[in-house]
Amino acid sequence: MNTPRVGFVGLGNIGRPMALRLAATDDIDLQVYDVAPAPVAELVAAGATAAGSVAELGVDVVCVMVRDDDQVRAVAADVPDDTLLVIHSTVAPGTPAELAATGRRVLDAPVSGGAMGAADGSLAIMVGGAEADFAAARPVLEAMGCKVVHAGPLGSGTRMKLARNLIHFVAFTAVTEAQRLAEAADLDLAVLGEVVRHTDAITGGPGAIMYRTTTAPIAEDDFWHGVLAHVAALGEKDLGLAVALADELGVDVPLAREALPRLAKGLGLR
């Protein structure tokens, strides 16, 4: 099997450690490009070859981890149509198809796990695109992440990343409510954070309920009905108590108030 020739464009906070993982992989020939000289020098020291521009990359696969859709388009404009373009940046759902409209080979492959996951190779990589292109890129992707999934046709990786990050940032907003409530109750926010991280590592956090393959209502004789009915009962009790405490302390908790009547229905119970 020929050694894959891979180009990596965008050596920022996440792209740099991703590229370093590729540089450390024996059977990958890596070329890199970035407008900043320092990360390029670091990658060259790690065994990669520097290219003077995107157009100078002589590779089979170009991985792109830049800031936004416009930067992705600018990179794509200089990549030959027969080169497989792998977009790791989180872009609009229609951007990958737009770039593929002229016959270009494209995969959208956004990542989850942040800089830490990029550094230790534990990223989740969600890929949209043709089966053949996914198969061609898979050895490269598996050098950077330990959870590589083919989400479906082109654009599916981006849609999955957006669904995943909806959880992430709505949860962050809920955390700010909890912090305000805890602060008003004279609690130590740092200690609360330690408790949250500890218990989420045990229970799986919000992802702990994500085992069903549908969001349809659950039949009463379904195994998950009993499980999620228990979740709903606990959740409604605890959310009710938290909202009551917030009222007592004069703390605004709009997400908690929205969640209370929506929890059971969202779980598929009614």
Here the contacts of 75-84 (C-beta below 8 Å, separation 24 or greater) are: 75/9, 75/10, 76/104, 78/53, 78/54, 79/54, 79/104, 81/105, 83/59, 84/60, 84/133, 84/136, 84/137
What is the dihedral sign for C-alpha 192, 195, 198, 201? negative
Q: Angle, to 10 degrees, between the axis of helix 223-249 and the axis of helix 254-266? A: 170
45 touches 65 (CB < 8 A): no
Residue 2: per-residue pLDDT: 74
Residue 219: per-residue pLDDT: 95
Mean pLDDT by 10 residues, the chain (270 residues): 88 98 96 98 98 96 98 96 96 96 95 97 98 97 98 98 97 98 98 98 95 95 96 97 98 97 94
Reference 78, options 106, 107, 100, 53; nearest CA is 53
Q: Where in the chain is the domain with CATH 3.40.50.720?
A: 5-154
Residue 3: per-residue pLDDT: 82
| Answer CATH for 5-154 from 3.40.50.720, 3.90.470.20, 3.40.710.10, 1.10.10.10 | 3.40.50.720
Neighbours of 141 (CB within 10 A): 23
Q: Could you please state the CATH topology (level 3) that the domain comprising 160-266 is classified under.
A: N-(1-d-carboxylethyl)-l-norvaline Dehydrogenase; domain 2 (1.10.1040)
Residue 270: per-residue pLDDT: 77
Q: Where in the chain is the domain with CATH 1.10.1040.10?
A: 160-266
Give residues with Cβ within 8 angstroms of 263, minimum separation 6. Answer: 232, 235, 236, 239
**Residues marked as catalytic:** 161
Residue 80 CA to residue 269 CA, distance in Å, equals 51
pTM above 0.85, yes or no: yes
